[in-house]
Amino acid sequence: MLCAGTTSLYNTIEHQGRTFFRRSLLTANLPVTVAGTFRQRKARIHSQRFMQPQCTAVVDNPLTAGVESNGAGGYQHIYKELNTGDSLAIEYADDTAAAPKNRRAGVILHPTSLPGPYGTGEIGKEAFKFVDWVASTGMQLWQVLPLVPPEEQYWSPYAGQDALCGSTLMIGIDELIEDGLLDKADKPKKVPVAAADFVAVRDSRIPLLKKAADRLLEESKFSGLRREMDSFRSQNPWVEDSALFFCLIKLQEDTKEMGWWQWPLPIRKREPAALADATARHKTDIERFIALQYLFDRQWKAVKAYANSKDVKIVGDMPIYVGAQSADVWAHQELFELDDSGAAVNVAGVPPDAFSETGQLWGNPLYDWPAHEREGYRWWAQRLGRSFQLYDETRVDHFRGFAGYWSVDAKAETAMGGVWKKGPGAGLFKSLNDQLGYVAIIAEDLGVITTDVNELRKAIGAPGMVVLQFAWGSGATNTHIPHNHYENSVCYPGTHDNETTVGWWNDSAQESEKEYIKRYLHTNGKDIAGDFMRESFKSVSKTSIVMLQDIMRLDNSARMNLPGSTTNNWSWRVGEGNVWKKLGKQGAEIKQWLEDFDRTAEIKPPTGA
């Protein structure tokens, strides 16, 4: 600030409610009187009047704020090799302020929500058709939920069994048949597209996936695929621990169906002899597990490559914490706050707030951040490195935990008694950049966000989030209301954790909010989903991402997740395979909005068109 300390260019004085500035000697903050200031100004009005500051408010000084402030720092950097009066290049006039801002737009849809005849969406043909539809609208981003194997009680992808593996239930069955890994006679019975029944899908697919893996491993005609699988295995050594852990929790009698911290001591502590014995005992199932992970990886990377060829990038999603019952923790016990048995000492959550009197107790084991720093954040480099194999960018859920996190005793029944602790901050991201190159993340910074979280996000250049459904309840200073948006952000009408916009308007929006929205958006509310999408695309935010349910104008029967509930989540499906033709009108509408608000991309035709 201009009035800060001995290194400031100016001191400030107050007079009749106005702020005046005076040149500082840069050696001390000398007291200045109002009368003295005006006498000095009058005496030097002819000789120094152009040097006198005329500001009447305390503002950031662009001359000292550096390049990112668009102040003199950036100007000096562009022409630093030139002296005053030097000739500028002939192309000088072509370098205008009207350069493209690379504004983008995208859509949220998890692959399990895609059309498909076998009970759930897959990463096969329907995923390619969806990419074609996204590209036809001019949108450049497809955001997915975590692709990890979901836990099998509530089927949440945010409580995955392994942070590095893919969900093999998404593997395309028809693609396995085309590859010869299954026979046409193996096709499951086709069922109408409805809410995903994950239990039925799991039970029907496990035998098919086992058959496909065994053929890959045993038949000579698949030697080429086996070479690819061996390459996948060598490039991703984490899959060995993941495969062994799966066998121990699913197949071995003295370890299955119990927490790994309750296992016999030798295997719990990963003694070399115990690991070697378990690996030998489960050799066939380990090979099968790795084969299926390779097939998932192969199919998904084909989808990603096709999307990228259409100028559509994949945005992934990564919860900050991992589950206790996972290879991620068992294989790296020294990096978590665990007791001697391996049980968590402190767990994650958030403190009480306006929405919960007792806070939220998540139960994930907390990281031992000093231990991560000592090992050079290699665990995090492996995790983010895997993410960038599967995605072009990754949204990090609960980003605020990198600045400050809520620590709760693992024995507590609520989150009320927790304490705030300092996170790793920018040091983590500097290390990741050194190891991986630029780490392209979106910072999920919703909820109660303190100054250190904002400063960390800005320091690493990560965009934050604004959500239009949160914008209308607290007046014109609300962070999420459009006139307060900032360029380096992602604007969502709502996310997968929210109601659909139509559902929110019908079921949850207060009358005062509705009246404010009608005034603000100049709307009657009859197409509120369209209003919110248009406002999101119009926003100054560099990126805008909308839910497919909003594009389809669906109510809360299409909601993906209701946080805190345990039923009817994650199972929504978009409809039959002709849905993309039915959405032609909506796609054309989006395309026009993107052209109107400078979010366009080159539109490429589907392959073979």
Per-residue pLDDT band at 24 (split at 50, 70, 90): very low
Q: What is the DSSP letter of 342?
A: S
Q: Does the structure show a pLDDT above 50 at 48?
A: no
Per-residue pLDDT band at 79 (split at 50, 70, 90): confident
CA gap 239, 288 in Å, rounded:
12
Q: Does the structure show a pLDDT above 70 at 33?
A: no
pLDDT of residue 93: 83
CA gap 60, 39 in Å, rounded:
27
pLDDT of residue 75: 57
Q: Does the structure show a pLDDT above 80 at 45?
A: no
Q: What is the pLDDT of residues 221-240, one digit of tens each?
A: 999 999 999 999 999 999 99
Q: What is the DSSP letter of 414?
A: S
Q: Give the active site residue among 444, 445, 499, 550.
A: 444
Q: Give the active site residue among 241, 297, 397, 550.
A: 397
Q: What is the pLDDT of residues 472-488, one digit of tens each?
A: 999 999 999 999 999 99
Q: What is the pLDDT of residues 529-582, one digit of tens each?
A: 999 999 999 999 999 999 999 999 999 999 999 987 888 899 999 999 999 999
pLDDT of residue 85: 93
Determine the 3-state secondary structure of 18 from DSSP.
Answer: strand
pLDDT of residue 77: 60
Adjacent-strand bridge partners of 314? 142
pLDDT of residue 214: 98
Per-residue pLDDT band at 54 (split at 50, 70, 90): very low
CA gap 487, 464 in Å, rounded:
10
Per-residue pLDDT band at 297 (split at 50, 70, 90): very high
**Using an 8 Å Cβ cutoff, are 201 and 120 in contact?**
yes
277 has catalytic annotation: no
Per-residue pLDDT band at 7 (split at 50, 70, 90): very low
CA gap 171, 434 in Å, rounded:
34
CA gap 499, 177 in Å, rounded:
38
Q: Does the structure show a pLDDT above 50 at 63?
A: no
Q: What is the pTM of this model?
A: 0.86
Q: What is the pLDDT of residues 135-160, one digit of tens each?
A: 999 999 999 999 999 999 999 999 99
Q: How many CB atoms neighbour CB 43 within 10 A?
A: 10
Q: What is the pLDDT of residues 456-468, one digit of tens each?
A: 999 999 999 999 9
pLDDT of residue 227: 98
Per-residue pLDDT band at 5 (split at 50, 70, 90): very low
Q: What is the pLDDT of residues 271-291, one digit of tens each?
A: 999 999 999 999 999 999 999
Q: Give the active site residue among 174, 497, 527, 589.
A: 497
Q: What is the arithmetic mean of pLDDT over 8-33? A: 38
Helices then strands (H, E): number in the chain?
A: 21, 14
Q: Does the structure show a pLDDT above 70 at 55?
A: no
Q: Does the structure show a pLDDT above 60 at 56?
A: no
Q: What is the pLDDT of residues 333-370, one digit of tens each?
A: 999 999 999 999 999 999 998 778 999 999 999 999 99
Taken in order 56, 57, 62, 65, the sign of the CA dihedral is positive
Q: Does the structure show a pLDDT above 60 at 52?
A: no
Q: Does the structure show a pLDDT above 90 at 132?
A: yes
Q: Does the structure show a pLDDT above 90 at 27?
A: no
Q: Does the structure show a pLDDT above 90 at 520?
A: yes
More confident: 495 or 22: 495
Q: Which of 60-74, 116-130, 219-233, 481-495 has the lowest mean pLDDT?
A: 60-74
pLDDT of residue 605: 62
Q: Does the structure show a pLDDT above 70 at 103?
A: yes
Q: What is the pLDDT of residues 326-338, one digit of tens each?
A: 999 999 999 999 9
Compute the mean pLDDT over every residue in the chain, rounded to the nearest whole number: 88
444 has catalytic annotation: yes
Q: Does the structure show a pLDDT above 80 at 505?
A: yes
Q: Does the structure show a pLDDT above 80 at 49?
A: no
397 has catalytic annotation: yes
Q: Does the structure show a pLDDT above 80 at 608?
A: no
Q: What is the pLDDT of residues 257-271, one digit of tens each?
A: 899 999 999 999 999
CA gap 463, 476 in Å, rounded:
22
